[in-house]
Amino acid sequence: MIRSLLRRLIQGAPAEQAPAALTTLVGMTTNEERLYYAEAIQKIRSLPGAVVDLGCWMGSTTLSLVHGLEEAGCKDEIVYGFDRFIWDDWMDEYLPVVACEYAHGESFLPEVRRRVKAHGHRVRLVPADLTTYAWKDGPIKLLLVDAMKTWVLGSSITRSFFPSLVPGALVVHQDYKCYDTPWIALIQYRLRDLFNFTHGVRRGCTVAFELKEKLSPERVNAAADFTAVTAEEIEAAVNWSAELLGEPGRGWMAGCHIMYHLFVKDAAGARRIADGYLNSGIKRHGGFAEALRFLETAESKGEFPPS
Last residue of a domain, one of 207, 223, 239: 223
Confidence category of residue 248, pLDDT binned at 50, 70, 90: confident
Q: What is the mean pLDDT of the chain?
A: 94
Mind listing the pLDDT tens digit for each residue in 214-242? 999 999 999 999 999 999 999 999 999 99
In this structure, the answer to whether residues 20 and 164 fall within a common structural domain is yes
Percentage of the chain modeled with pLDDT above 90: 92
CB atoms within 10 A of CB 276: 12
Q: Give the CATH number for residue 97.
A: 3.40.50.150
Q: Would strands 207-211 and 195-200 be described as parallel, antiparallel, or unpaired?
A: antiparallel
Residue 306 lies in a domain: no
Please report the pLDDT score of residue 16 as a whole number. 53
Residue 288 lies in a domain: yes
**Whether pLDDT at 91 is above 90:** yes
Residue 307 lies in a domain: no
> What residue numbers bound the domain in which 273 lies?
231-301
pTM of the model: 0.93
Residues constituting the chain: 307
In this structure, the answer to whether residues 286 and 184 fall within a common structural domain is no
In this structure, the answer to whether residues 16 and 133 fall within a common structural domain is yes
Mind listing the pLDDT tens digit for each residue in 6-57? 333 334 445 557 888 899 999 999 999 999 999 999 999 999 999 999 999 9
Mind listing the pLDDT tens digit for each residue in 266-299? 999 999 999 999 999 999 999 999 999 999 999 9
CB atoms within 10 A of CB 279: 8
Please report which helix (H) or strand (E) contains residue 299, including its range.
Answer: helix 286-301
In this structure, the answer to whether residues 248 and 269 fall within a common structural domain is yes
**Domains contained in the chain, number:** 2
Mind listing the pLDDT tens digit for each residue in 57-73? 999 999 999 999 999 99
In this structure, the answer to whether residues 203 and 284 fall within a common structural domain is no
Distance from the first to the final alpha carbon of the chain: 33
Nearest-angstrom CA–CA distance, 245 and 223: 21
In this structure, the answer to whether residues 192 and 271 fall within a common structural domain is no
Last residue of a domain, one of 196, 223, 250: 223
Distant-in-sequence, close-in-space partners of 270: CB < 8 Å, separation ≥ 6: 258, 259, 261, 262, 295, 298
